[in-house]
Structure 1
Amino acid sequence: MRITRNLMAAGALTALAVGATTALGTTTASAAPNVTPQSVCGSAYKTVNSAPIGSLGTVYLTYNSSNGKNCVATIRANPGKATYVATYIYVPDTDASAGDDGNYTSYAGPGYVYGKGHCVSWGGTISNVYVSVDNSNCAALKESRVTGVR
C-alpha cells in the first residue's frame, strides 16, 4: 500500500512538473479548444463582425462600448499542433495598429486599438490562408473583403 501511494505521489509530481514546464514554455496565445472572442479580448467586448479563414477558423472583430476600443482575435476551428496564426487591426484615420502572430495551437490575439467613430481594417491568417477586411464598420465606405492563399 505504501509503495502504491509513493508511486502515485511520484507520478502526480512528475505530471505537475511536466505541466509547469509546458505552461512556462508556451506562449500566451495557446489555449483550450473552447476559445471564444470574449475569452481572448475580454467579457466586455461584443462581437461586431467576423470573417471565415477558409475552413481553418475565423477572425473576429469585437468592440467595447465603455472604452471605445476594438479587439481582434483569430481562432482556429480545430486546435492542435502549433501552426502559423496571425491577427491584425488598423485604424487608417489615426494610423493606430495592433496585432499578434506566431506559431500557436489555437488562437492569435488579442490586438486592441481605439476605434470609436473610425473605420477599421482587420484580418487574420491561419497557416497559408488569409482574410483581410478593409473599411469595416463605418457608414461612409463600403466594406471590402479579400480571402486568399499565400
Structure 2
Amino acid sequence: MRFSHSMLGAAALAALSVGATTALAAPASAAPNTTAQKVCGSGYKTVNSAAVGSLGTVYLAYNAVNGNNCVVTIRNNPGTAVDMSAWIYVPATNEGDSDYGRYTSYAGPSYVIGKGFCVDWGGAIANVSVQVTGSNCASLKEHRTTQTR
C-alpha cells in the first residue's frame, strides 16, 4: 500500500476524529494480556515502543528473516471499544500501512518492509496519540510527539 507523507498525516488526523468509517469498524478480538509478538506473528521481536499517555503502548516489532516491520497499539485496560490506530511509514520508499477503527484491546498489526531504512510509526488510543519519526536509524536520533485532543 502506498502513502505519501502528507496523506499519512491526513489519515492519522482523520482517524482521531469520530467519523462514520471509524464507527463501522469491527472490534478486535484479542485477549486482554496480548503482546506485540502475538499480534504481529512468529519471528517478530519488539525493537522500540512508545507510551500512549497512560492508556497503552505502541510497539514497533521487526522480523529479521523477512525484513518486515510491524506496529501494534495495545491498551493497558481493554474494555469498551474506543477509537484506536496503529501506523507505519518508510519515507525512503514511500510505503506505509495503517489500521484505524474502534477496538477493545489493540489496533494493528500494520506491516511494511523496512530493512535498512528509517521508519516513522505511531498510534492512538481515544484522544491520545503518539508519533515517532526517524526511528531505528542506527546513530540518528528519533523524534517523539505525544498529543492529547
**TM-score (norm. length: structure 2):** 0.81
- Kindly report the root-mean-square deviation, in angstroms, between the aligned alpha carbons of the 2 structures: 1.5
Q: How many residue pairs are counted as aligned between the two chains?
A: 126
Contact (CA 8 Å) 2:91, 2:118: kept in 1 or not? yes
1:119-130 → structure 2 map (5 Å cutoff): 119-130=118-129
Q: CA deviation at 1:142?
A: 1.5
1:72-83 → structure 2 map (5 Å cutoff): 72-83=71-82
Instruction: Give unmatched runs, 5+ long, in structure 1.
Output: 1-25
Question: In proportion to residue count, which structure has more helix?
Answer: 1
The amino acid that maps onto 1:88 is W
Q: CA deviation at 1:28?
A: 6.4
1:38-49 → structure 2 map (5 Å cutoff): 38-49=37-48
Q: CA deviation at 1:39?
A: 1.1
Q: Higher relative CO (CA 8 A, sep ≥ 6), structure 1 or 2? A: 2
The amino acid that maps onto 1:108 is A
The amino acid that maps onto 2:111 is Y
Q: What's the CA shift string for 1:48-81, capped at 9, x where partnerless?
A: 0000001100000000000000000000000000
The amino acid that maps onto 2:47 is V
The amino acid that maps onto 1:43 is S
- 3-state SS of paired residue (1:93): coil
Q: CA deviation at 1:34?
A: 1.2
Q: CA deviation at 1:140?
A: 5.3
